[in-house]
Amino acid sequence: MTTSKTDILQGTLDMLVMRAVADEPLHGYALVDRLRIVSGDRLQIPQGSLYPALHRLEYQGFLKSEWGPTKTGREAKFYRLTAKGRKQLEAEVADWKELAKAISLVLRTA
Amino acid sequence: MSWIGRLLGRKRLEDSLDRELQFHLDSRVEDLQRAGISPDEAMRRARLELGGVEQVKERARDARGTRFVEEWWSDTRYALRAMSRAPTFTAAVVVTLALGIGATTAVWSLIDALLIRSLPVERPEDLHALRRVGNEDGTYRVSYPMLQRLQAAAPTGVLLSGMSATVRMYASTGAQPEGVIAQLVSGDWFSLLGVRPVAGRLMTRADDETLGNHPVAVVSDWYVQRRLGGDRSIVGKTIRLNGASFTIIGVTEPGFTGLSVGTAIDIWIPTQMQHVVRYASNVSTSNADNRQPWVPQEGIAWLTVVTRMSADAARAAAEPLDRTFRLAVQDQSRTLDSARAVYAMREHLVPEPFARGFSPLRQQYADSLKALLASVVMLLLIACGNVAGLLMARSAARSHELAVRVSLGARPGRLVRQMLTESLTLALIGGAAGVLVARWGSNTLLRLASGSTAAIPLSVPVDAKMLLFALGASLLTGLLFGLAPAIRVHGISLHDAFKAGGRVLGRAGHRLPLGRVLVVVQLALSLLLMMTAGLFVQTFQNLVGIDAGYERERVLSARIDLSAGGYTSDRLSSLQQRLLDAVRAVPGVQSASLSLTGVAGGSMRISGFAVPGRVLPADDNNGQENVVTPEFFETVGISLIAGRPFGDADRFGAPRVAIISEATAKHFFGTRDVLGARFGYGSPPEFEVVGLVRNARVNNIRETPRRLIFYPLAQRPDEYVTSVEVRTAQRAETVALAVKAAIASVDASIPVREITTLGKLLERGLIRERLVARLGSAFGIVALLLAGIGLYGVISYSVSRRMSEMGVRLALGASPGRVAEVVLRDALLTVAIGLAFGALLSLPAMELVEKLLWGITPHDSRTLVGAITALLVVGSVAGLIPALRAARVDPVEAIRAE
């Protein structure tokens, strides 16, 4: 397990989840792995929050789920991004970049 | 998936959620095992990382947005299960609530029918009636010429239509005449109201143009349904009304029974037919001959004017209508003496909203119904108190269960909601049963209020408004009695609940103060209800006990209608003599008389008089007239103070004589020494006073004795008498049938409307008081019992919780009597506080019923003391039972149980 645990900022979990399933459908467990690996072990998603987030995003229509076989042949629930979700993701990413830029500017000058 | 679909697919979603999380756990465990961790440890870690499967599930459900409804549904099922496990408890609560909510709804729906609901016509809010105001008794009646004048003065497009009072007539379509309720109306009355025919056609203006020339009649659907079994083919047939023939031209649409709430009209005829049917009710006359047709006469006011215009239009039309009215009155008053002219000129005519129609019932019952509604709501509150007490005791007994649930992660708010769901479910079941009670109750109330076998034709439907009221009452009730236990749940302390080893202990020193508060409120409200009951019962007794001024039990009065038999005035005298002879011949009859209006019968004739040498105020110069045969006073029992009764010498053509009552003597002459004095309608004064009789309350028992004037029938041979009075030797009821048969033996076509004692007739005027007294007493007694039960519950609960304390006291040497005393004092203290509050509350509360009282003040101290005593007795019993139980506690048992 990773030791460098970064708390995920409030509100960014949804964005990360959407980004993770943007390229290909993933089930919840794979999603945790994916984020951990992509972030170079820096991000540890609180697993207790992951499933409520997935359900919430599906309820909002940003994700769509489907039961399907995994590589090992078991049945798992796969989530993929909907068109509406993709738009939402783009908007959130843009907002995030703006915010990050602003914060780094502040940090540089202060 | 839609929100509702998501809810319906709940089971599938739950499965899916289970499998999804299971898959996650399995995968994690596999990965961990692959990393060389033991299976058990892997499982432990996987669960730890996920953070509790149930919590995750709960939050995932939250995210779906259906959680509230899901929980509500599961709460409801839980509540139903809990209720079916305690059937006696549930039944007790539901029955209590059903009665409470049902009674409240019943009284309310009567109030709605009588006081709130609008007439079933088009845009009822636009209806107005023209009212004459200015003198103390406002009236709606104007003469027919006045109606025509007003119609001419009304703005274009505004219709004005006249209608008479409702009157009983005798109708026959075949053999036997039967009583119907009739009304005379202008031709355009139906089109003004927007009433449509369901068969045939309704009257138009052309049906009401020339005097005596329009023998047409419209009947109501109510009449057709009730008397003809719904046969509408009656249109085109002939009906005889008070002896005259009319053609039925149409039937009004169902639901329309006229503009008088509580009086359903059977038949309408044109105003031009007044003299043909000898309509003669509700009239004021001056300078007129009411035996001639009324339509052309200026001095006979008998029509109420209704009109249809918006509120704005009514404001605009008010001035021209009033000006026309006053000009005409001014014109006519030139012929009046100055005092009457002043009286007449004080009057104005104003349009008054008429959306709810006329209702004698409304005037009569409005205050009583409001008082009854207030009482029944208080009763409901008291019942709520008891139910709350029961639920609270139950929730206390369940505090261990609740504590367990809290410790397993249930939020307190969630438990509160569940308790509330249980109360609301109970209340709604009670409310549903209450609707049935209400249905039955409002009909029973109507029957009680109408006081005779025929119920008042007032429809009290189970409509949306009534259901809404019942629902509202149920929800409010549920909240009220559910709140107390819910508040308790909030206060649950895990520590205390578990410390007691699963036994109920509650917080230390916690003596169920909420329960105490409830009982205090119950006692206070009960005191109010007991007081009102006492006041109402005494009012009724006071009224019954009034000396009417005549004999009640041994005098029968038979209501007859000679005009319906088609008798003309020249044949009246011999008919009257034959009637008297036939009735006198009945065994058991001591004497008999005939009179124009009878006694206690509800009809009256009032005229204005002049007395030479005295100035009577113009608006206070009247007396109530009756025309009687000589034996009237002896028969009825109105005693003669001075002078003589009428005799054979007082015949037609002889000097005209009158007998007056004390009140008349005092007002007209200012002395009781009136024999030989003269008075009359004008000058010269026609009548000589030959006798003075005691005051009598001839209209109803609560009136101040009217000024009575009697004339001999022989000197007014063309009056149609309406009453036969019979004095009997033994019980009057036994003679009644024989008297009825005797009247029929003279002429079977004379309708005898009813025959009953004067006492019964008088009591009919007290229906309202009797109804209020009876219901008030019932409410009071139920309140007393409920409060007693409530107190008993609270005290015995506190005793059961203090068993060990009692045991210790006894073990330390306290006598059982001392222990009982402690408990009883506790109970009586609660009662005392409740009564003190109640007595304080009664000060303003009793003022509200003052209008309904007679001969007793709202703060009658004897009534207050009586009510307090009753509650003290019940309170002592309720406290004594648990007190004795406490005294019998076995100290060893009680302490060991700790």
* pLDDT tens digit sequence for B604-635: 777 888 888 888 776 678 889 999 999 999 99
Tens digit of each residue's pLDDT (9 = 90 or more) over B383-407: 888 888 877 777 766 767 777 777 7
Angle among Cα B728, B732, B737 to the nearest 5 degrees reads: 105
Interface contacts A/B by beta carbons within 8 Å: 54
- Count CB neighbours of B549 within 10 A: 20
pLDDT score of A13 more than 80 = yes
The chain A residue lying nearest B21, using CA atoms, is A51
Amino acid B512: pLDDT: 53
Tens digit of each residue's pLDDT (9 = 90 or more) over B770-802: 888 888 898 898 899 889 988 988 888 888 778
Amino acid B175: pLDDT: 62
* Integer Cα distance of B125 and B118 in angstroms: 8
Provide, as residue numbers in chain A, all residues whose Cβ is less than 8 Å from the Cβ of B64: 55, 59
Alpha helices in A1-110 (DSSP H): 12-20, 28-38, 47-60, 83-109
Q: Among the ranges B542-546, B816-820, B868-872, which has the highest mean pLDDT value?
A: B868-872
Q: Among the ranges B68-72, B215-219, B561-565, B567-571, which has the highest mean pLDDT value?
A: B215-219
* Integer Cα distance of B469 and B462 in angstroms: 11
Per-residue confidence at B137, pLDDT binned at 50, 70, 90?
A: low
Q: In this complex, which of B19, B56, B65 lies closest to A51 when CB atoms are compared?
A: B56
Per-residue confidence at B340, pLDDT binned at 50, 70, 90?
A: low
Tens digit of each residue's pLDDT (9 = 90 or more) over B263-319: 789 999 999 999 888 887 767 767 777 778 999 988 888 999 999 888 888 888 888
Does B238 touch chain A if contact means CB atoms closer than 8 Å?
A: no
The chain A residue lying nearest B65, using CA atoms, is A59
pLDDT score of B5 more than 70 = no
C-beta atoms of B56 and A53 within 8 A: no
Q: In this complex, which of A29, A53, A75 lies closest to B24 when CB atoms are compared?
A: A29
pLDDT score of B2 more than 60 = no
Query: Mutating which of B20, B34, B50, B55 best tests the A interface, going by the most A Cβ atoms within 10 A?
Result: B20
Per-residue confidence at B7, pLDDT binned at 50, 70, 90?
A: low
C-beta atoms of A29 and B23 within 8 A: yes
pLDDT score of B656 more than 80 = yes
What sign results for the dihedral spanned by CA atoms B3, B5, B10, B12? negative
Amino acid B491: pLDDT: 62
Per-residue confidence at B709, pLDDT binned at 50, 70, 90?
A: very high
What are the backbone dihedrals phi and psi of residue B343, each rounded to the nearest 5 degrees, phi first?
-60, -45
Mean pLDDT, rounded, of chain B:
84
DSSP characters over B22-56:
HHHHHHHHHHHHHTT--HHHHHHHHHHHHT-HHHH
Does A29 touch chain B if contact means CB atoms closer than 8 Å?
A: yes
Amino acid B868: pLDDT: 95
Amino acid B493: pLDDT: 59
* Integer Cα distance of A82 and A88 in angstroms: 10
Task: Report residue B577 as tokens.
Answer: 């003599």
pLDDT score of B885 more than 70 = yes
C-beta atoms of A47 and B50 within 8 A: yes
What are the backbone dihedrals phi and psi of residue B606, each rounded to the nearest 5 degrees, phi first?
-120, 135
Task: Report residue B231 as tokens.
Answer: 């046969």
Q: What is the mean pLDDT of residues B831-842?
A: 94
* Integer Cα distance of B33 and B39 in angstroms: 6
pLDDT score of B510 more than 70 = no
pLDDT score of B139 more than 90 = no
Amino acid B452: pLDDT: 54
Q: Looking at chain B, how many residues does it have?
A: 898
Residues of chain B above pLDDT 90, percent: 28
pLDDT score of B52 more than 50 = yes
Comparing B271 with B568, the larger pLDDT belongs to B271
C-beta atoms of A48 and B59 within 8 A: yes
Tens digit of each residue's pLDDT (9 = 90 or more) over B229-260: 888 888 999 998 888 899 999 999 988 888 88
* Integer Cα distance of A13 and A1 in angstroms: 20
Give how far B894 is from chain A: nearest CA, Å: 51
Determine if the peptide bond prior to B215 is cis (ω within 30°).
no
Amino acid B679: pLDDT: 92
Q: In this complex, which of B20, B49, B64 lies closest to A28 when CB atoms are compared?
A: B20
Q: Report the phi/psi class of residue B369: left, alpha or beta, with left for phi > 0 and alpha for psi in -120 to 50.
A: alpha
* Side-chain-side CA neighbours of residue A97 (13 Å): 5
- The CB-based long-range contact list for B62-70 (8 Å cut-off, 24+ gap) reads B62/A52, B63/A52, B63/A53, B63/A55, B63/A56, B63/A59, B64/A55, B64/A59, B64/B6, B64/B13, B65/A59, B65/B3, B65/B6, B66/B3, B66/B6, B66/B7, B66/B10, B69/B7, B70/B7, B70/B10
pLDDT score of B865 more than 80 = yes
Q: In this complex, which of A27, A29, A46 lies closest to B28 when CB atoms are compared?
A: A29
Provide, as residue numbers in chain A, all residues whose Cβ is less than 8 Å from the Cβ of B16: 67, 77
Amino acid B264: pLDDT: 84
pLDDT score of B502 more than 50 = no
Angle among Cα B702, B704, B707 to the nearest 5 degrees reads: 135
Provide, as residue numbers in chain A, all residues whose Cβ is less than 8 Å from the Cβ of B50: 47-48
For helices A12-20 and A28-38, the axis angle rounded to 10 degrees is 100
Does A34 touch chain B if contact means CB atoms closer than 8 Å?
A: no
Does B21 touch chain A if contact means CB atoms closer than 8 Å?
A: yes
C-beta atoms of B63 and A59 within 8 A: yes
Does A68 touch chain B if contact means CB atoms closer than 8 Å?
A: no
Q: In this complex, which of B16, B49, B59 lies closest to A52 when CB atoms are compared?
A: B59
pLDDT score of A10 more than 80 = no
Per-residue confidence at B162, pLDDT binned at 50, 70, 90?
A: very high
pLDDT score of B447 more than 70 = yes
Per-residue confidence at B501, pLDDT binned at 50, 70, 90?
A: very low
pLDDT score of B503 more than 50 = no
* Integer Cα distance of B10 and B333 in angstroms: 85
Q: What is the mean pLDDT of residues A62-84?
A: 88
| 3-class secondary structure, A12 | helix
Q: Say what the pTM is.
A: 0.69
Task: Report residue B760 as tokens.
Answer: 């019964």
Amino acid B841: pLDDT: 92
The chain B residue lying nearest A47, using CA atoms, is B50
What sign results for the dihedral spanned by CA atoms B402, B406, B412, B415? negative
Q: In this complex, which of B23, B27, B64 lies closest to A59 when CB atoms are compared?
A: B64
The tokens 């009140």 sit on which residue?
B663
**Ranges A1-15, A83-97, B99-113, B753-767: which has the least confidence:** A1-15
Q: In this complex, which of B17, B20, B51 lies closest to A47 when CB atoms are compared?
A: B51
C-beta atoms of B63 and A46 within 8 A: no
pLDDT score of B1 more than 50 = no
Q: Which helix (H) or strand (E) holds B308?
A: strand B303-308
pLDDT score of B445 more than 50 = yes
Amino acid B469: pLDDT: 83
Give how far B490 is from chain A: nearest CA, Å: 28
Give how far B418 is from chain A: nearest CA, Å: 25
Give how far B493 is from chain A: nearest CA, Å: 29
Per-residue confidence at B708, pLDDT binned at 50, 70, 90?
A: very high
Does A97 touch chain B if contact means CB atoms closer than 8 Å?
A: no
Does B10 touch chain A if contact means CB atoms closer than 8 Å?
A: no
pLDDT score of B509 more than 50 = no
Provide, as residue numbers in chain B, all residues whose Cβ is less than 8 Å from the Cβ of A46: 51
Q: Which of B763, B743, B729 is nearest to B594 (CA)?
A: B743
List the beta bridge partners of residue B595: B628, B723
Q: Which domains does chain A have, with CATH numbers?
A: 12-109 (1.10.10.10)
Tens digit of each residue's pLDDT (9 = 90 or more) over B8-39: 566 777 788 888 888 888 888 888 888 888 88
For helices B767-801 and B360-397, the axis angle rounded to 10 degrees is 10
* Integer Cα distance of B880 and B890 in angstroms: 18
List the beta bridge partners of residue B247: B216, B238
Q: What is the mean pLDDT of residues B199-209?
A: 92
The chain A residue lying nearest B53, using CA atoms, is A48
* Integer Cα distance of B24 and B625 in angstroms: 102
Q: Among the ranges B167-171, B205-209, B453-457, which has the highest mean pLDDT value?
A: B205-209
Q: Report the phi/psi class of residue B819: left, alpha or beta, with left for phi > 0 and alpha for psi in -120 to 50.
A: alpha
What sign results for the dihedral spanned by CA atoms A97, A99, A101, A103? negative
- ipTM for this prediction: 0.85
